[in-house]
Structure 1
Amino acid sequence: MLKSVHLFGCSSGFVSNLLKPNSIVGFSLTSISSKRLSASSSLSCSSSILSCSSSASLFLAPRTGSFKAFCGSTCSEANQEGTSSSPLSMSESPPPSSSTVVHSSSLMQEKIRNIRFCQWCGGQTKHGIPDGEEKLRAICTVCGRITYQNPKMVVGCLIHHENKVLLCRRKIEPSYGLWTLPAGYLEIGESAADGAIRETLEEANAEVEVTSPFAQLDIPLIGQTYIIFVGKLKKPHFSPGPESLECRLFPLDDIPFDSLAFSSMLVTLRLYVEDVKAGRTTFHYGTINKRPGTGASDIHAYTLDYHLRL
């Protein structure tokens, strides 16, 4: 379930193998480079200083007295789809507006500037553009390591059973009480398919078999990539997990599109219904550009750009 912030991990997708070239952009997972900056390295510092919410790293062992301060300064990613223009039909794929791109870049700089302490040694960081790079980074003034932020991967299953799809009603925030496919953050050490199977078991107590990948949806503004699989029930049994109020099979015509939790779920289910009506399920790649300033509950405030059917 989408509820926790992960600071280390990897993000990849099927499209990187199916579509060339492919670029996934975003931010949220924090990783550390062992690359050190020499004393002669020049840094070009940005002038805009922004603020953002913070969260603690729960698994890093403190090495200095600065650790508590580091925990308070580490940038967190809201556990929600954050922020896009009027909905388009699935066939429309215009380029993202310049305002969306600029806002995404500003958010990334905001998050980088709020990394004030090194996750490696606890030393204070400075912010600048290292030689050979183009983006603002957080650089440790003690050990010289650079802290990078990378996208989070969300994996889930679209379970099709007897011409119905399995949805779970969320028991946690964000989007409490709204419907979603069983999905959540990929864990370190598991494949995307394994993560989708695990999330389905956790949220719907359903044992499933993944039959095919269905969609990769990137949401650059909030630094998330969704990988959704089509799956089938191994046994015709399911029930709400601890993070679900209820689980239900919906006929395609009865899917509660106005009560879905996230834009990613809306896009996925619309694409699936279109495919079923067309008589053929395909693999979809697209970028969901959320309108800056809108919240997770504004599920229709997006454009689907670069939509490809493979």
Structure 2
Amino acid sequence: MNFCSSCGAPVELRVPPGDTLPRHVCPACGSIHYQNPKVVVGALAEWEGRILLCRRAIEPRLGRWTLPAGFMENRETTAEAAARETLEEACARIAVGELYTLFDIPHISQIHIVYRARLLDLDFAPGEESLEVALFDEDEIPWADIAFRSIDLTLRHYYADRRRGDWALHTGSIHPPGGAESHVD
């Protein structure tokens, strides 16, 4: 950040009084500009045991498969974000269920949240950010082409929980390859 979004003056990177981390501070108007993690929210949408996946039409991971998910908007709940992203990426309507996975991804300053959900009907199609959308049984999942580790882990937890018949909230931290060991429950 180079300039204050409040007054347009150049900002300085410094630790403000009462804080412990460097922030972009405007010496002209005193505004402190915080940069916080982004929240990515999605849905694991089910229909008769099959899962809805989208093949990405955008970077990152263009052409790879993912659950419908994206950045949360201001003034919406995480459940509303999951429903909106599913509608935007898969033109699909869902009934949002329980929170299913929550992963901290500190190396990219993101939090990934996925809800279990139920498709309300089979009226779905690729949205602007998807090349194609399809329902998959477990043996049809394109495992080698899953876009993100958080989605791969979510799907693996889903199928393990389904086999056990015992659903749980799964949480943990995902670190880059070669980084600190991941803690994933």
TM-score, normalised to structure 2's length?
0.93
Matched with 1:269 is: 155
Counterpart in 2 of 1:141? Answer: 27
Q: Tell me the amino acid that sits aligned with residue 262 of structure 1.
A: F
- The one of 111, 115, 123 aligned to 1:225: 111
Q: What residue ranges of structure 2 are gaps of 5+ in the alignment? A: none
Q: Distance in 2 between matches of 1:130 and 1:121?
A: 18
> How many residue pairs get matched?
185
SS in 2 for 1:166: strand
Query: In structure 2, the residue corresponding to 1:198 is in which secondary structure?
Result: helix
Within-5 A mapping of 1:3-42: none
Residue 302 of structure 1: how far off its partner (Å): 8.1
Look up the match of 2:2. Answer: 116
The superposition leaves residues 39-78 of structure 1 with CA deviations (integer Å, 9 ceiling, x where unpaired) of: xxxxxxxxxxxxxxxxxxxxxxxxxxxxxxxxxxxxxxxx
**Residue type of the partner of 1:205?**
C
The correspondence of residues 28-67 of structure 1 with structure 2, limited to 5 A, is: none
Q: CA RMSD in A?
A: 1.6
Give CA-to-partner distance per residue, 1:248-300, whole Å, 9 cap, x none: 111112211110111111111111122112221111111111247xxxxxxxx
CA 1:250 to 1:302, structure 2 compared with 1: closer, same or farther past 3 Å? farther
Residue in structure 2 matched with residue 129 of structure 1 by the alignment: 15
Greater strand percent: which structure? 2
What is the aligned partner in structure 2 of residue 212 from structure 1?
A: 98
The code of the aligned residue for 1:180 comes to: T
Distance 1:262 1:228 in 2: 13
Q: Could you tell me how far 1:303 is from its partner in structure 2?
A: 4.5
Alignment deviations for residues 130-160 of structure 1 (CA, whole Å, 9 cap, x no partner): 2322211111121122111011111110012
Distance in 2 between residues matched to 1:254 and 1:302, nearest whole Å: 32
Identity %, equivalent residues: 43
1:284 aligns with 2:170: yes
C-alpha distance in 2, partners of 1:229/1:303? 25
Aligned to 1:49: none
Please give the per-residue CA displacement for 1:132-191, whole angstroms capped at 9, x wherever unaligned: 222111111211221110111111100121111110101111111110000011111211
Moved over 4 A (4+): none
Task: Tell me how far apart the structure 2 counterparts of residues 304 and 156 of structure 1 sit (CA, whole Å).
Answer: 21
Q: Unpaired segments of 5 or more residues in structure 1?
A: 1-114, 293-300
TM-score, normalised by the number of residues in structure 1: 0.57
Equivalents in 1 of 2:18, 2:125: separation in Å?
A: 53
Structure number with greater CO (CA < 8 Å, separation at least 6) is: 1
Match of 1:92 in 2: none
